[in-house]
Structure 1
Amino acid sequence: MTATKQTRTRGRLSARARRAVLLLHVVAGVGWFGIAAVTFVLTVAALTRPDAAIVGYEFHELLIGSLARPASLITLGTGLVLAVGTKWGIARYYWPLVKLVLVVATISITASLTPGWIATASRLPGSPFTSEVADAQINLIGMAVFHVLAIGAATWLSIYKPGGRTRWSPRARRLAV
């Protein structure tokens, strides 16, 4: 094996490992997308049917805590492994970099805002319905729509791989010199 060939394969996943990580990445991403769609439906149902609000928001919280968080973190972790372990890299091409920003932003925004909105929206029956509760319910719907769009955009990026190389790509630097 020549020195050039050794350099090109160093740090890469084997084909078998890449397929296994890719499978886990796709399953986690599809699961996360499905959970986002279900939380959207639950949130709309809770908003339009006040008798179902408490159960809907409790289930919403259960879905987020037990399924969405692990799915999102598995998606993030496997995406990083695939980026580092394949030719695509994290910042060599635009599409993996944009996917990373989308996933990290989605996780961060959800973790910081959603728990408070769920607590406000799921006020006990008999409590006065305030504009704060209505705002929290609408924010939860917006968050669910944001999830579906962000995960859908990440999926689109994975399939179409638009944008070409970034300026941080080793090849782009060689061409510029």
Structure 2
Amino acid sequence: MTTSRQPTPSAAPSGRTPRRPRDRLSARARRAVLLAHIVAGTGWFGIAAVTFVLTVAALTESDAAIVRAGYEFHELLIGSLARPASLITLGTGLVLAVGTKWGVAKHYWPLIKLVLVVATIAITASLTPGWIADAMQPVGAVNGARVNLVGMAVFHLLTIGAAAWLSIYKPGGRIRWTTSQRSAS
């Protein structure tokens, strides 16, 4: 005995992608933004890895012309690739947080990711330009700016890696707001 199957009420009408419960983005839009987020974040991590290798090489190099060229390339990487990748990562992360059930401050992990990304961008923007300028100065020995730039590259690898880990494992559960905080929003 065969029975005809009726479409389920949650099925999308003719060719439209259904939304998950509590999502403001359609599944197609969510996947597109997620793809951009992953590509930008992965690119940002790759740029951080390259700048780590570059800053370690410049730290150990004694030829002033090579050191200067290395830091000029470092500056070019930051301005033309790292800055846009970080801002795209931030923007797409916010769109995903607001447009999906996760929210910006409903669960711990998206909020921690946001803090990590904003802190990394702010710290880099405020400290790195001065350190690069100091690192390019002709100095006979290793100076503090060169060491700081290696540390900044390690900082990037750790914070971007931590954000990726948070995205995969989603630890911490929901943030429990008190009723007075809920009524204020």
TM class, shorter-length: 0.7 to 0.9
- Is 1:91–1:168's contact at 8 Å kept on the other side of the alignment? no
1:89 aligns with 2:103: yes
One-letter amino acid of the structure 2 residue matched with residue 140 of structure 1 = L
Partner AA of 2:140 in structure 1:
F
> Which blocks of at least 5 consecutive residues in structure 2 are unaligned?
1-8, 10-20
Deviation digits for residues 80-132 of structure 1 (CA, Å, limit 9, x no counterpart): 00000000000000000000000000000000000000000011xxx3436xx
Quick one: which amino acid aligns to residue 12 of structure 1? R
Say if 2:80 is the partner of 1:66: yes
Cα RMSD after superposing both structures = 1.9
1:129 maps onto 2:140 in alignment:
yes
Match runs of 1:14-93 below 5 Å? 14-51=26-63, 52-93=66-107
Aligned partner of 2:160 among 147, 151, 156: 151
Secondary structure of the 2:106 match is coil
The structure with more helix, counted as a fraction of residues:
1
Q: Please list every run of 5 or more consecutive structure 1 residues that lacks an aligned counterpart in the other structure.
A: 2-7
Displacement over 3 Å in runs of 4+ = 127-130
Identity of aligned residues (%): 77
TM-score, normalising length from structure 1? 0.85
Q: Which has the higher Rg, Structure 1 or Structure 2?
A: 2
Letter in 2 for 1:88: W
